[in-house]
Amino acid sequence: MACTKTLVIAISAALLAAPPAFAQGAGEPTGVWLTQSGDARVKVSKCGGGICGVIVGLKEPIDQATGKPQVDDKNPDPALKKRPMIGLPLFSGMQPASPNKWSGQIYNADDGSSYASTVSLAGPDTLRVEGCVGALCGGENWTRVGR
């Protein structure tokens, strides 16, 4: 009996002393994430009941052809072609789908299109971002920047 009580106290103490980073990070996608290719940093924040994602940094923020900041030049809407890439919203309607998973739309600035998407936490420092066109899906892992 004393041995069991000691074991329960030891386990409880270990759980209380454990760093909370994983527990907090596992359910929280908020923060800055580096895309798998390393070409952009995206800030994910709470947005109403869901999440938003906005580009906050680029590996190459200046367009080599123009010498000016990168813009959303692949967007099919002429009114949006000149909007800056820094500050560009990537997620829309991204709402909770299940624990640690959100569903909505993701904007792909490489082709100017939006796709059905899911975002899920694969670990405290890994965000899985997937997009689908019809039955064809693809995805990548983003890495949390700084903690």
pLDDT at 18: 34
CATH number of 2-144: 2.40.128.520
Half-sphere exposure in the Cβ direction for 90 (13 Å, CA): 25
Average pLDDT over residues 123-127: 96
Residue whose pair of structure tokens reads 């895309």 in the numeric block: 35
pLDDT in tens, 48-69: 999 999 999 999 999 999 999 9
Whole-number pLDDT of residue 134: 84
Please state, in angstroms and rounded to a whole number, the distance separating the CA atoms of residues 84 and 18: 43
Question: What token pair was written down for 20?
Answer: 């909370």
Mean pLDDT of the chain: 85
Query: In this structure, are residues 142 and 134 in contact, taking their beta carbons and an 8 Å threshold?
Result: no
pLDDT top residue among 135 and 36 = 36
Q: Is the dihedral of CA 33, 35, 47, 85 positive or negative?
A: positive
| 104-128 mean pLDDT | 96
List residues bridging with 139 in a β-sheet: 130
Please provide residue 44's backbone torsions phi and psi, each rounded to the nearest 5 degrees.
-105, 130
Average pLDDT over residues 90-104: 97
Rounded to two decimals, the pTM is 0.80
Question: How much is the CA Rg of the chain, to the nearest whole Å?
Answer: 20
Q: What is the pLDDT of residue 147?
A: 67
| 81 — pLDDT class (breaks 50, 70, 90) | very high
Between 141 and 11, the more confident residue is: 141
pLDDT higher than threshold 50 for residue 2:
no
Alpha-carbon distance of 29 to 41, in angstroms, equals 14
